[in-house]
Chain A
Amino acid sequence: RKEVEQDPGPFNVPEGATVAFNCTYSNSASQSFFWYRQDCRKEPKLLMSVYSSGNEDGRFTAQLNRASQYISLLIRDSKLSDSATYLCVVNTFSGTYKYIFGTGTRLKVLA
């Protein structure tokens, strides 16, 4: 079983819709959590960090549930430009820290 799992999608949503992605992780010693965005196999770019109390950045909201070991990303008022793959990243500890990626969730926003 992968340490970090995501639904690969694709999620096809109309412009203006709200869409949510979840990501589960298996290592309870995981320290920090992030969402990255990747366009067409280019290098991933940080979208936002995920804090324990939840955090918001414009139309994007991230939540962390340590008890159930998952994080979520909510996108409100979807734009065409939001079409991309969203990667969940977990900073996990096993002797040293390392960053493990989920498989990514593809989002297509349709006009």
Chain B
Amino acid sequence: NAGVTQTPKFQVLKTGQSMTLQCAQDMNHEYMSWYRQDPGMGLRLIHYSVGAGITDQGEVPNGYNVSRSTTEDFPLRLLSAAPSQTSVYFCASSYRQNNEKLFFGSGTQLSVL
């Protein structure tokens, strides 16, 4: 089992560029989510999804878009990158939307210059 696959591991962008962080899971998980982690801030929820076709905003959604067209994939899009989006990003999934362990991808270190 691959688990949660997150790509890329590192990315450097210029201000205003766009990119997509990929997240895929092969465990038939209902719940998928994106977090960002900044020093001293813990993990903050960006967007999450409780099933294909359903997405919702988390704590810090501005500047990010998501879609969930399949159960397996949950890409995170930065439409116009800003230096404030420099962070470590984690994708996480769980079998159900409640009372379940989260499985994490290995993270993406994103720098926006």
Secondary structure dominating the interface of B:
strand
Which of B33, B48, B106 touches A43 (beta carbons < 8 Å)? Answer: B106
User: When chains A and B are docked, how far (Å) is the Cα of A5 from the Cα of B48?
Assistant: 21
A99-B42 contact in complex given A41-B37, A41-B88, A91-B99, C-beta closer than 8 Å: no
- Encode contact with B along A83-111: 1 for CB under 8 Å, 0 otherwise: 00001010101011111111110000000
B26 within 8 A of A: no
CB pair A99 B41 closer than 8 Å: no
Which of A44, A45, A89, A97 touches B50 (beta carbons < 8 Å)? Answer: A97
Which of A31, A100, A104 touches B99 (beta carbons < 8 Å)? Answer: A31
Rounded to whole Å, the gap between the CB of A107 and the closest CB of chain B is 15
Which of B37, B42, B88, B98 touches A97 (beta carbons < 8 Å)? Answer: B98
- B102: A residues at CB distance < 8 A: 34, 36, 44, 46, 89, 99
Secondary structure dominating the interface of A:
strand
User: When chains A and B are docked, how far (Å) is the Cα of A100 from the Cα of B41?
Assistant: 12
Q: B interface vs A, CB < 8 Å?
A: 31, 33, 35, 37, 40-45, 48, 50, 54, 56, 58-59, 88, 90, 92, 94, 97-99, 101-102, 104-107
Of the A-B pairs whose beta carbons lie under 8 Å apart in the complex, a sample of 7, sorted by A's number, is A31-B98, A96-B54, A97-B98, A98-B33, A101-B43, A101-B45, A102-B42
Q: A interface vs B, CB < 8 Å?
A: 3, 6, 8, 31-32, 34, 36, 41-46, 49, 87, 89, 91, 93, 95-104
